[in-house]
């Protein structure tokens, strides 16, 4: 997430950096900026800032100060803008932000430490061998379009995990993969 401007900070023509990139993304989202997001405060960025100032009834000085930043951010968010989203690509539920600190729950970004499993009870693992019962993965048997839950764990007692290392395959690797995915890893 891009740090907002602090008191006494400003952005102006000639500046560059991630804050300028965020400024360009928000102005683009609102229809003021049509250029490429390249994190340089250039002529096109200056024009977009002046247009936003004019539309908001603000002094048209081309400077982005804290008050401008907050007004732009509030307007962008009220129109559906979410920071840390790659705005040219759809966001999937459960997707992590590029910095790995946020996850999309389908309606809003949440801190990773609040991530909830995105697995629904009765959902099969990607390989179809495991069924999530709401609290743990159980072996599943596919019979056409439905999967039946079994009361047995994989062929080995769950309390006795084998040593699994990179490059291994088999049912334990599948089981561990499904467990990690259910926890958001």
CA distance 53 to 46: 11
Which whole number is the average pLDDT over 128-149? 61
Contacts of 108 (CB under 8 A, 6+ apart): 82
Q: CA quadruple 89, 119, 140, 145: dihedral positive or negative?
A: negative
What is the C-alpha separation between 62 and 77, in angstroms, rounded?
Answer: 22
- The answer for residues whose C-beta is within 8 angstroms of residue 87's C-beta and 6 or more apart is 25, 28, 29, 81
Q: Return the top range by mean pLDDT from 2-6, 41-45, 90-94, 172-176.
A: 41-45
List C-alpha distances in Å: 88 to 58, 97, 121: 30, 14, 32
pLDDT for residue 156 is more than 60: no
31 is written with which tokens?
């229809």
- 3-class SS of residue 12: coil
How far from the centroid of its chain's Cα atoms is residue 22's Cα?
Answer: 16
Average pLDDT, the chain: 76
The greatest distance separating any two alpha carbons of the chain, rounded to the nearest whole angstrom, comes to 72
Other CB atoms within a 10 A radius of the CB of residue 145 amount to 5
pLDDT of residue 52: 97
Tell me the average pLDDT across 70-92.
74
As a whole number, mean pLDDT of residues 158-171 equals 70
Q: What is the pLDDT of residues 21-55, one digit of tens each?
A: 999 999 999 999 998 899 999 999 999 999 999 99
With 0-12 CB in 10 A as exposed, 13-18 as middle and 19+ as buried, what is 83? middle
User: Residue 109 has what pLDDT?
Assistant: 63
Residues 139, 154 contacting (CB under 8 angstroms): yes
Average pLDDT over residues 151-177: 64
Q: Which domains does the chain have, with CATH numbers?
A: 10-83 (1.10.101.10), 130-182 (no CATH)
CA separation for the pair 136, 121 (Å, rounded): 9
Amino acid 50: pLDDT: 97
- The two three-digit tokens of residue 14, written as one number: 């000639």
- Range from 100-104, 140-144, 160-164 carrying the lowest mean pLDDT: 140-144
Highest mean pLDDT among 84-98, 106-120, 168-182: 168-182
């Amino acid at each position: 997430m891009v740090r907002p401007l602090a008191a006494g900070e400003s952005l102006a023509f000639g500046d560059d950096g991630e804050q300028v990139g965020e400024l360009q993304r928000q102005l683009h989202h609102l229809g003021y900026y049509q250029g490429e997001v390249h994190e340089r405060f250039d002529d096109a960025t200056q024009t977009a800032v002046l247009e936003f100032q004019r539309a908001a009834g603000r002094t048209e000085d081309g400077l982005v100060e804290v008050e401008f930043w907050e007004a732009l951010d509030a307007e962008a968010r009220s129109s559906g803008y979410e920071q840390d989203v790659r705005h040219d690509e759809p966001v999937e539920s459960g997707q992590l932000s590029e910095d790995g600190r946020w996850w999309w729950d389908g309606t809003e970004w949440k801190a990773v430490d609040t991530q909830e499993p995105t697995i629904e009870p009765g959902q099969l693992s990607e390989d179809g061998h495991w069924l999530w019962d709401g609290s743990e993965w159980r072996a599943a048997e596919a019979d056409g379009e439905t999967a039946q839950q079994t009361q047995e764990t994989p062929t080995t007692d769950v309390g006795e995990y084998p040593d699994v290392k990179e490059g291994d395959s088999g049912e334990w690797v599948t089981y561990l993969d499904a467990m990690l995915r259910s926890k958001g890893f």
